Structure formats: structure tokens, C-alpha cells
Structure 1
Amino acid sequence: MSSDWEQPTKAQIKRWRKHLANERAEADVYRALASRKEGEEREILLAIAEAESRHEQHWLRLLGPEARSIAPDISTQVKGFFARHFGSVFALALMQSAESRSPYLSDADATAQMSADERIHAEVVRGLAARGREQMSGNFRAAVFGMNDGLVSNLALVLGIAGSGVSNHFILLTGFSGLLAGALSMGAGEYVSVSSQRELLDASTPNPDTAAAIPQLDVNANELELVYRARGMSAEEARSRARTVLSHFEHPAAQDSFGGANNEVVGSGFAAAWSSFLFFASGALIPILPFLWLSTSAATILACVLVGIALMLTGGIVGVLSGAPPLRRALRQLAIGLGAAGVTYALGMLFGTSVS
């Protein structure tokens, strides 16, 4: 350590130690994620881990003999847990959020380069996380929307009936009917939606049988050029591509696919329908359960509490995966769900009173 090292304040030491612990933990997170990857993604994650290690050295130099090992922030520990046990999608989403909210932006003891590194890391992690989001987008979307629709719609239905003053038996009958009807409707709707989307993509995807006609084309007329132009190439690019294919039409490479869309990202219609059915039913079951053994008033309160917790969990998960603050998304889901249920409960009370 150099002789010009100066004793920092207690506040600085505390802050620097926390930065040091977080840098070490975040580097471990990236290494843990890299251990699950291969090729380019692995190299990118290891490069970010190396950058975090460079930041660690900065805080070690500032701390000097005051350097001590302390626990990182709880949020950083959570990221490490996800990285080690649940794969990369959740961990990368959490790291994206953390990198975009780096404390170095407002810390005078952090260098400008470190602050810039963190901002660039956020974009790198955003790109890596996007790959995982695309892979899970189809069925995951159906599952999340199915769960939320089940929670909100059946809670609103059950509370609307409960507000009218009917017996628990009638509330349960209505709730289970709403569960079954909603789950079947969601599953059927998701199947039709995904299947229709796949059919639309199939209609736009080049017909592979068309390639068999290439050897019989008039080389001088070069109508193959029109195919590539219709697919979005410029006239010059289409002409060059067509000449290449026509000049080698006797080889297997001539069986050109003309490019095309990848409809695998849409997912399976059956899988989406099944996920939507199960998750809607799971969500719709939660507000019904309290009415099996509690009085109407107690069951109504407990149903709201249970659904509120579930809404915050699903909202938080969506927030994490989208890189947004999970608490904000959780509270938004809670407000929307309980707000809708509150309206139907008030209407149930109003109509129940008017009928009686």
C-alpha cells in the first residue's frame, strides 16, 4: 500500500465495504451464470465478471488496511441464489435492473469509468435477458395471464355474489361454475389465438416445394429475382442472389428456401391452451377456498388477502422478468385486482339490497 494513503471517514469505510462486497457477489453471479452457458454467451458473462473484479480492486485500494469481508446486499444475495438454482432468466432480469440503478452514478468515490461500465453492463445484460424472454414468451405469457385472469375474475364474481347476501352454498356453486367456465374459455381462446397466429405465419412462409422448380427456370428471364424482391430485398440484391442460385442449380444448395419466418417463437397451441387452462383454474380456485369452511364475512376478507398476495407475487415476477421494479408492478396488480373486486362487491350489495 502506498504511503500517501489517508484514513477515510467511518461513513466512507462503511459504504466502500458494501460496494466491495456487492462487486464480489455480482462477479460470482455472472460466473455462476456463465457456468450454465456455452460459446458466446459464456464469454460475455465472464467478461462482465472480469469487469466487476476490476471494480473490486478500486474499492480495495481505497480501503487499504480497512478492507474487510462483509455480507453483500440482500438483493445481490437473491440474484446469486437465482443464478445458482433457477437458471439465467430470472437472474439476468434482476441483474439488468441492478445495473441500470447503479449507485456509482451518485457516488463521488466511484470513477467515471466505473459508472460508464455499469451503464454498458445494463445494456449487455438486457440483450442477454432478451434471448431468454423470447424463448419463454409464448407459454409463459399464457400462464401469467391465465393466473391473473383467474384471480381477478373469480374474486370479482365471488365477492359480487357475496355482497348480495346469499348463502355460502350459492357462493361456492357460483365460484366453481366461474372457475370451470373461465378456464375452458381461456384454454379454448388461447388455442385458437396461437393456432391462428401459426397459420398466418405458415401462409407467409415460403413453400419449400417451390425450390424444385428452380432448375426449369429461364435463366435469361430470371423470374427468381422477383421472389427475392417480394421478400424485401432490393432489386440489386435480389438479382445477385438469383444469379448465384441459378448458376448452381444442379447442386443441393440450389434448393433455396427463399428465407422465411420462424414460427417456433409462437409456441404450441395445445401447450398454450393447457397452460392457460391450468393457471386460470389455479388462480380462480384461491378466492373460493375460504368459503368452504368460514362464514361469508370472514371468507370474504380472507379471499381478498389470499388473492392480494397472489396478485403481488405474479406482478412481481412479471416485473422481474421485464426488468422493471418488481414492487411497483406488484402494487399495480394488487390495485387493479382488488379494485375490480371492490366494484363488483359494491354492486352486489346494491342489487342485493334493492331485491330484498
Structure 2
Amino acid sequence: MAGAAGVNDVTTQHSTADLRRWRKYLADERAEAAVYRELAGRRSGEERAILLALADAEGRHEAHWAALLGDDIGKPVRADARTRFLAVLARRFGSVFVLALAQRAEARSPYADDPQATPAMAADERIHAEVVRGLAARGRKRLSGTFRAAVFGANDGLVSNLALVLGIAATGVENSFVLFSGIAGLLAGALSMGAGEYVSVRSQRELLEASSPDPETDHVMPDLDVGANELALVYRARGLSPEAAARRAERVLTAITAQEQPALTGPIEAVDDHEAIGTGLGAAFSSFCFFASGALIPILPFIFGMQGVPALIVSVVLVGIALIVTGAVVGLLSGAPPLMRALRQLAIGWGAALVTYLLGLLFGATLG
């Protein structure tokens, strides 16, 4: 009897654990569906339709757990902290940050290892991660040009001016000289970064424009020699294999024969590289402002009158915090672990500053 009672106790405990887990899954699915609906409410067209379809899919998963629980569904429980945080971000911002976090959440689904989750549900979650990855990639593409300039500008400002301040201070010069050196580094670096980004982005856009097909070519297509099929050379030049180029050219020429007007100039894949690069002025302004903002942080202690080692310590700590923030933001947007990106950013920034400080000590000792 005691043995039977023990078995019954274990079974009851196991059943209770199952019910608790299923209720948690149910709450998470409801919260994830709400996140996608919130995001859909801030978008239009194809992106809105995709997000609503994802919400419907989460609704099917919700129905699975509700049916499994039956009369034991109990009171609603709270979703996990990550999903609740996503819901708050979706309501407030609806940005690419939310999609990047949702991508990571979908990729961590436990359904593949849960016997009560169907294989279709586990497969759905994997596919959802890829769908969200695609949506996040669209958002990353839209902001990549200006964002790249902003991130690089801020990090360059933080690291270069911290290294400058530490290197100058290590030589033993007066506090005012360190401050003025930092201000000069801020202005010179911000102007240089802004000018460099403008030239870089303008050059990239001009190269893209030179590589884009001529729209006037469409008008001569009805006059092509169908027998020669030279149109295939266009597609081969764009990177298709001879066989694929011939098939595509044949389809286009067939359309011409049917008196349709296919577009030769459209890209093989609908990707707007100009949008990804951004504008020259936007990148220049973003780079200038963020470099200046980053370069200001290392000299803040000196601006407020601090001197010597305490000022340097505060400067290093402030820059470290800023590097962690920028690294985490880049990690979130790239779908990578934000903590690892933050620590990598911190190690690189502090490492560069340490090398400059040691060189300053060396030169200071030599000059002394």
C-alpha cells in the first residue's frame, strides 16, 4: 500500500507539473499573438498581412494547449518576462528592435523537446523564427545606412577620444591641456567622420547608379531579333548561368511576341541597395552628431573640474557604460546575444585606450 501510495504521489506531482507547464505555454502563446497584432497595427501592406498570419498561427497553438488542459485550464497565468517585455515594446515602439527580440524568442521554443507539442507546432516555431528574421531584415535594411554611421561614429568618438585623453594625461601635462586636447579631438574627429561618411555613401550610391540597368532599354525590346536571342547575354552578364539566362530570355521574348511589355530593367531580386546604403547627408549628419556625442563623454569629468587620476577613472567608467550600451544595441538588432556583443565592444574599446595610455606613460617618461 505504501508503495502504491508513493507511485500515486509521483503521478499526481507529475500531472501537476504538466498542467503548470501547459498553462504557461498557453499564456505565452496568447502574449506572442498579442505582440504580432500590436506590430501589425503599426504596419501596412504585406508586412501587416504577414504579422497577422503569425498571430493566427500562435492562436492555433493556443487552442492546442487550451484543449489539452480542458477543465483544468484554471485561472489565466502570466506569460514569461521576455514575452511581456516584448508586448510592452510592441505597444510603445513597434520597431525593428521588437522583431529582433521576437526572432530570438521564436528560436528558443521548447516545443521540439516537449512530447505534448505536436511536430507541426515545433516546425511552426522554427518557421516563425525565419519569417520574423525576414521581417527584421527589412527593418534593418531600411535603417542600416544611417544606423551604421551612427554606431561607428559613436564608438569611434568614445574610443578615440578616451585613448587621446588617457594618452595625453599619462604624459603628465596639466589638466587644462588634457581638456583642450579632448575638445580638439572631438571637433576634428566629428568633422572628419562626417566628411568621410558623406564621401563614402555618395561614392557607393554613384557606383550603384552606374551599375543600374538603363530604363530606356525597355523601349527597344519589341524590335529585338527573336532568332538571335541576344537578350540572354544580358542575364548572363547579371550572373545567371547560360541555361537559366536562356530560359529567362525565352520567357521575355515570348511575352514580346504576345504583345506584352516585360521589364528588362527590373532587378533579378527586389532589393533596393540605395535604401540600404542611405543618403550621403543623412550618414554624414548622423556620423558627425554621434561621434561628437561619443567623444564628449571622455572629457565630461574634466569639463566639470575633476583632475588627475579620479578624472581618468570616471572617464573610463563612463565610456565603458556607453560601450556596453552601444554593443548591446548592435547585438539586439543583429539578432545576436546582446551581452556578448556588449562585452566585445567593451574589451576592444578599453584595450585600445589601455595601449594608448601605456604609450603615453612611455613618452612621458622619455621626455621627462
Tell me the CA shift for residue 78 of structure 1. Answer: 1.9
Cα deviations by residue, 1:175-230 (Å, 9 ceiling, x for unpaired): 11111111111111111111111111111122334556667777887766655554
Structure 1 CA distance, aligned partners of 2:265 and 2:72?
A: 66
Instruction: Tell me if the contact between 1:13 and 1:63 (Cα under 8 Å) persists in the aligned partners.
Output: no
Deviating more after overlay: 116-125 vs 190-199: 116-125
d(CA) in 2 for partners of 1:352, 1:56: 68
CA distance in 2, matches of 1:221, 1:113: 51
- In structure 2, distance between residues paired with 1:281 and 1:166: 24
Counterpart in 1 of 2:93?
86
One-letter amino acid of the counterpart of residue 280, structure 1: F
Counterpart pick for 2:199 among 187, 192, 217: 192
Q: 2:140 is matched with which residue: 120, 133, 144?
A: 133
Post-superposition offset of 1:257: 5.5
Query: Contact conserved, 2:39 with 2:51, CA < 8 A, in 1?
Result: yes
Q: Distance in 2 between matches of 1:31 and 1:25?
A: 10
Q: CA deviation at 1:41?
A: 2.4
In the alignment, what sits opposite 1:279?
Answer: 290
Quote how far apart the aligned CAs of 1:22 are.
Answer: 2.2
Q: Distance in 2 between matches of 1:222 and 1:315?
A: 53
Q: One-letter code of the match for 1:311?
A: L
Q: How many residues of Structure 1 are paired with residues of Structure 2 in the alignment?
A: 347
Q: 1:222 to 1:322 in 2, by over 3 A?
A: closer
Q: Which residue of 1 is the match for residue 59 of structure 2?
A: 53
- Which amino acid counterpart does residue 124 of structure 2 have in structure 1? D
- What is the Cα deviation at residue 53 of structure 1? 2.7
Q: CA deviation at 1:109?
A: 5.0
Task: Specify the alignment match of 1:308 in structure 2.
Answer: 320
Q: Unmatched 5+ residue regions in structure 1?
A: 1-5
- Give the structure 1 partner of residue 4 of structure 2: none
Inter-CA distance 21–174: structure 2 relative to 1 (3 Å threshold): same
Matched position secondary structure for 2:79: coil
Structure 2: give runs of 5+ residues left out of the alignment: 1-10
Of 17, 24, 28 in structure 2, the residue corresponding to residue 22 of structure 1 is: 28
Give identity over the alignment, percent: 61
Partner of 2:346 in structure 1? 334
TM-score with structure 2 setting the length = 0.83
CA distance in 2, matches of 1:315, 1:152: 13
Distance 1:174 1:122, change over 3 A: same
Task: Encode CA deviations 1:55-78: one digit per residue, 9 max, x unaligned.
Answer: 334444348536333333222222
User: Displacement of 1:245 after TM fit?
Assistant: 4.5
1:69-106: CA deviations, max 9, x gaps? 33332222221122111123111100001111223344
1:35 aligns with 2:41: yes
1:171 and 1:284 map into 2 onto residues whose CA distance is 13
- Does residue 1:65 correspond to 2:82, yes or no? no
Greater CA drift, 209-218 or 79-88: 209-218
Tell me how far 1:337 sits from its aligned partner. 0.9
| CA distance in structure 2 between the aligned counterparts of 1:181 and 1:102, rounded to whole angstroms | 49
Paired residue secondary structure (1:52): helix
3-state SS in 2 of match to 1:258:
coil
Change (3 A) 1:203 1:69: same
Query: Which among 137, 142, 155 is matched to residue 162 of structure 2?
Result: 155
Q: Which amino acid aligns with 1:342?
A: L
Deviation at 1:274, TM superposition (A): 1.0
CA distance 1:246–1:111, change in 2 (3 Å): closer
Partners of 1:225 and 1:65 in 2: CA distance: 65
- In structure 1, how many angstroms separate the alpha carbons of the residues matched to 2:214 and 2:281? 24
CA, structure 1 residues 227+103, in 2 after alignment: closer, same or farther (shift >3 Å)? closer
Q: For residues 55 and 92 of structure 2, what CA distance do their matches in structure 1 show?
A: 19
Amino acid at match of 1:345: Y
Change (3 A) 1:197 1:300: same
Question: 1:347–1:91: structure 2 CA closer, same or farther, 3 Å change rule?
Answer: same
CA 1:106–1:273 in structure 2 vs 1: closer, same or farther (change >3 Å)? same
Q: Which residue of 1 aligns with 2:281?
A: 270
SS in 2 for 1:196: helix
CA contact (8 A) 2:226 2:253 kept: no
Q: How many angstroms apart in 2 are the aligned matches of 1:116 and 1:217?
A: 48
Larger displacement relative to structure 2 (73-82 or 201-210): 201-210
Shift of 1:302: 1.2
| Letter of the structure 2 residue corresponding to residue 84 of structure 1 | R
Task: Specify whether residues 38 and 12 from structure 1 end up closer, same or farther in structure 2 by C-alpha distance, changes over 3 A only.
Answer: same
CA separation in 2, counterparts of 1:27 and 1:224? 48
Q: Is the contact made by 1:151 and 1:287 (CA closer than 8 Å) also made in structure 2?
A: yes
Q: Verify the 8 A CA contact 2:171 2:364 in the aligned structure 1.
A: yes
